[in-house]
Each structure stands twice: as structure tokens, then as C-alpha cells.
């Protein structure tokens, strides 16, 4: 009788430990390690606003949590001037080796089609392709956002002043930036 | 009587179409919460926007625990090129995160909060001994609604600071709101503008320092003491944002992230 009581007690203790471990791991398992708790809120916000997000990159996959439109040519972009939530993410690591389109084509969607342009890995790739659009302060950055005044409230350049230690943090920064731009639009 | 009626009507119609000295704010300054008279200051000579994450490095990986941003606009006085105006907006956003730690590397919710933001500007550091180098006055330092809050307040954030040949004031201004206090200092001989926004809870309500907040600052630069500086203005502005962990790990540890922008116009 006493043995059964001990067995029951041990079982309860083991179950409690397992429950605590499972409880503290499971609900948050899907957020990539190192990213803030608002990760899925940001993704939901972008998806709920029907923002058009185009990505030109081989490295960004957003962990399959977010599904932008991956393109290989500017001509694949559906132009819609009436939607002010258009984003083009250009990975300069890919841009430097392959062709997304001419500067004139990118200029066209930037200036005439209300696209926000997000340049990633610009500083680390030592690119100079967009130098004429950038300020000296921003050229070394790995996440630069370009906004043109004709479509939005003003023309300006925003840049992260330091690099990103992991691809997950870079991907989060892109999503966070898009989310903030949607809020400000 | 008829003539008077027609005259009054014509005057009313004219008044509707003619602008009698209406001041227009520069749209960029408006976007960041300032009224910069576009007739007097024109468009900005420089606009810099820098942003940064605060990262906590652990053996389990790097964690984003905060975000800060610095927006700086520089204007030249169109009526007197010896004067320049600098307006600054800063953003603080603590980021909560599930962080691994402890004995078994378990995930634990880490609640982050903003402690303070410090804006420091070494105005044109290449030149010294300006006498009174710069000042802010009441009309250019209205901190009306620096952050989006549920209840709009236009008076509780008001601060008036004036710097002159001799430092008239140096100390602390506490805002009525109880959640934000301002510390500032000015030393005319070193041409340093320095202001710290300190966050605190209002009794048990800590929502202000847990959310995204904005702070504003502005100062004028008097370039009359430096004749060679006409038309050239260099200004280094630094933002230091301090976040603290209030629950989770590592408890009560503080992180400070520096942002620096260099504004320049010719």
C-alpha cells in the first residue's frame, strides 16, 4: 500500500516536471531563437494589410513563416500605383552577381510606382550600384530603406547603423521595417 | 447701404482666397512632430535617419531586446544665414523576447523596458569659444505629445529651455505626467547640447516605458562667432538608449545602445 503511494507520488512529480518543461517550450517553439515575441504579430500585420512584398534574394526564406513573392526580374512585378504598400527587397549579394534589371527599371518602380526599396547587405557586399541614391552615412549599412516623396510624404533614406549577426535577425529587421512603414503610410 | 454690403461681401470673398501671412510648416518637420516655418527656414538642408537594435549576446545566441531610432533635420535660417536650427526625434521600443537561460537552457519570457534616452550633440566640435553658442527657446521646445498616448495632452510635456551667454538654468524639469522626466545641461565653453529623457512608472502603470515612445529636442546654432563657418555646418549627434530587463533573464541588467549621425550641409 505504501509502495503504491510512493509510486503515485513519484509519477505526479515526474508528470509535473514534464508538464513544466513542455509548457515552457512548446508555445514559443516556432519563434526563431533570438527574435522578439512580436514576430508573428508583425507577420500577421503585413499579411492583413495586403502589402505587396517582392524579394530578390537566394538567402532569405523567412523560415516559411512569411511568404513574399520571390522574383528574378523587375518585369515580374505587378504594377499597381494605387496600392501604397509596395515593397521590393533587394539582396545586394545576389544583385552584384546577377541582373535584376536595369537601374532605370528599378528607378521607375521606385519613383513612379510607389515602391519602398529595401537594400540589404549593401555595406557588407561593398556594392556601389545605388551610391547615387544614398548618403555617405548610409552606404555602409546592411539594411537601407528608400522612400520617394512623389508617392509618400517625403523622400528619405533610413539605415541600420550596424550589421546583423544572423540571417534570422536580418529577416526580422526586414519584416519589422515593413511593418513600421505600413503603420506610417 | 448697398455699397457697404457689396464692400463687406467682396472683403469676405477676398479674405477667403487671399493668404494674410499664414505660416506654413515644412512637411518633413511636421512628419516628425515639429512646426518649422517653411517661409523662414525653407526646406531642410540635411535629413538623417539611423536606426539600431539592441542585441544581447549569450551562449545560446543573439537576442533582439530593443529598437531605437534617431531622426535629425537641419535647417538654415533664410533671413540670417548665421543661424541654423536642428530638430531631433528619437524613438525607443523595448522588445520582449523568449530567451534561453538558467540551468537547463529553458525558454523564459523576458520583459524589457526603456530606462532612458540621452541625446548628446557636440555642435561643430572643430570650433570653440563661441560665447553663447546656441540655445533653445520656448517657441522651439514645445514637447507637445511626444509619444502616441491614449489621452492627448498638450501641456504636460511642455518644456522651455533657454541657453545664453551664461548658463541660466541647469538641472531637472519634471513633467506632470510622472512617466517622463527631463535632465539637461549646457556648457557654453564646450558647445555641448545634452538632454536625457528618463522613464518611470506612474504608480503601477508602466505601459509608457514598455511601449514605443518618441522624444523630441531642438536647438539653434549661432554661427556668428565663426566667420569661416558661413555656409558650412557640421554637427555630430549621438543617441544612447538604455533598456532594462524587468522579468526573465538576466534580471535587472541594463543595455545601452549608441547611435551616431553626422549632419552636414554646404
- Residue B70: is it exposed, middle or buried by C-beta count within 10 angstroms (0-12/13-18/19+)? buried
pLDDT above 60: residue B165? no
Is B45 touching A (CB cutoff 8 A)?
no
Mutation pick from B45, B47, B51 vs chain A, by most beta carbons of A within 10 Å, is B51
CA distance A65 to chain B (A): 18
User: What pLDDT does B190 receive?
Assistant: 54
CA distance A181 to chain B (A): 13
A169, B261: Cβ pair inside 8 Å? no
B-chain CB neighbours of A173 within 8 Å are: 53
Is B236 touching A (CB cutoff 8 A)?
no
Helix ranges (DSSP H) in chain B = 2-17, 27-31, 38-41, 207-210
If you write DSSP's letter for every residue of A123-175 in order, what string do you get? TTTT--TTGGGS-TTTTT-SEEEEE-TTTSS--EEEEESS--SSHHHHHHHHH
B-chain CB neighbours of A28 within 8 Å are: 98, 107
Residues 56-95 of B with CB under 8 A from A: 60-65, 67, 69, 95
b/e for A133-146, b at 16 or more Cβ within 10 A?
Answer: bbbebbbbbbbbbb
* CA–CA separation, B55 and B61 (whole Å): 10
User: What pLDDT does B167 receive?
Assistant: 46
Local confidence pLDDT in tens for the 185 residues of chain A? 667 888 888 888 888 877 766 655 555 558 999 999 999 999 999 999 989 999 999 999 999 999 999 999 888 888 776 677 889 999 999 887 777 887 778 888 887 787 899 999 999 998 888 888 888 889 999 999 998 766 665 678 999 998 899 999 999 999 999 999 998 77
User: What pLDDT does B14 receive?
Assistant: 53
Average pLDDT over residues B47-57: 93
Which among B27, B48, B261 has CB closest to A154? Answer: B27
Amino acid at each position: 500500500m505504501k509502495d503504491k503511494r510512493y509510486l503515485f507520488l513519484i509519477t505526479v512529480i515526474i508528470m509535473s516536471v514534464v508538464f513544466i518543461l513542455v509548457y515552457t517550450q512548446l508555445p514559443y517553439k516556432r519563434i526563431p531563437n533570438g527574435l522578439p515575441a512580436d514576430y508573428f504579430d508583425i507577420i500577421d500585420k503585413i499579411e492583413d494589410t495586403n502589402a505587396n512584398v517582392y524579394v530578390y534574394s537566394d538567402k532569405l526564406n523567412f523560415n516559411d513563416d512569411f511568404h513574399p513573392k520571390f522574383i528574378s526580374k523587375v518585369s515580374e512585378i505587378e504594377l499597381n500605383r494605387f496600392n501604397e504598400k509596395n515593397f521590393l527587397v533587394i539582396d545586394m549579394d545576389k544583385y552584384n552577381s546577377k541582373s535584376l534589371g536595369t537601374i532605370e527599371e528599378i528607378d521607375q518602380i521606385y519613383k513612379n510606382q510607389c515602391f519602398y526599396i529595401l537594400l540589404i547587405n549593401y555595406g557588407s557586399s561593398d556594392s556601389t550600384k545605388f551610391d547615387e541614391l544614398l548618403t555617405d552615412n548610409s552606404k555602409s549599412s546592411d539594411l537601407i530603406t528608400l522612400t520617394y516623396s512623389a508617392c509618400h510624404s517625403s523622400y528619405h533614406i533610413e539605415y541600420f547603423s550596424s550589421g546583423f549577426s544572423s540571417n534570422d535577425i536580418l529577416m526580422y529587421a526586414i519584416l519589422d521595417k515593413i511593418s513600421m512603414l505600413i503603420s506610417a503610410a | 447701404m448697398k455699397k457697404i454690403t457689396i464692400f463687406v461681401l467682396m472683403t469676405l470673398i477676398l479674405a477667403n482666397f487671399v493668404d494674410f501671412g499664414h505660416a506654413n510648416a515644412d512637411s518633413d518637420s511636421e512628419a516628425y512632430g515639429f512646426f518649422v516655418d517653411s517661409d523662414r527656414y525653407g526646406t531642410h538642408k540635411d535629413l538623417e535617419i539611423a536606426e539600431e537594435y539592441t542585441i544581447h549576446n549569450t551562449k545560446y545566441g543573439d537576442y533582439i531586446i530593443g529598437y531605437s531610432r534617431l531622426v535629425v533635420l537641419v535647417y538654415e535660417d533664410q533671413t540670417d544665414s548665421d543661424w541654423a536650427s536642428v530638430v531631433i526625434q528619437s524613438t525607443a521600443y523595448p522588445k520582449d523576447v523568449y530567451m534561453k537561460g538558467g540551468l537547463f537552457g529553458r525558454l523564459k519570457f523576458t520583459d524589457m523596458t526603456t530606462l532612458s534616452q540621452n541625446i548628446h550633440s557636440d555642435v561643430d566640435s572643430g570650433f570653440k569659444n563661441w560665447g553663447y553658442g546656441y540655445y533653445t527657446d520656448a517657441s522651439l521646445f514645445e514637447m507637445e505629445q511626444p509619444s502616441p498616448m491614449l489621452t492627448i495632452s498638450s501641456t504636460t510635456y511642455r518644456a522651455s529651455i533657454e541657453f545664453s551667454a551664461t548658463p541660466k538654468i541647469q538641472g531637472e524639469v519634471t513633467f506632470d505626467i510622472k512617466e517622463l522626466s527631463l535632465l539637461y545641461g549646457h556648457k557654453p565653453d564646450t558647445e555641448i547640447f545634452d538632454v536625457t529623457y528618463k522613464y518611470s512608472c506612474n504608480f503601477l502603470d508602466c505601459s509608457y516605458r514598455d511601449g514605443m515612445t518618441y522624444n523630441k529636442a531642438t536647438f539653434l546654432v549661432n554661427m556668428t562667432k565663426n566667420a569661416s563657418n558661413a555656409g558650412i555646418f557640421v554637427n555630430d549627434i549621438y543617441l544612447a538608449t538604455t533598456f532594462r530587463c524587468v522579468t526573465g533573464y538576466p534580471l535587472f541588467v541594463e543595455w545601452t545602445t549608441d547611435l551616431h549621425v553626422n549632419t552636414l550641409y554646404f
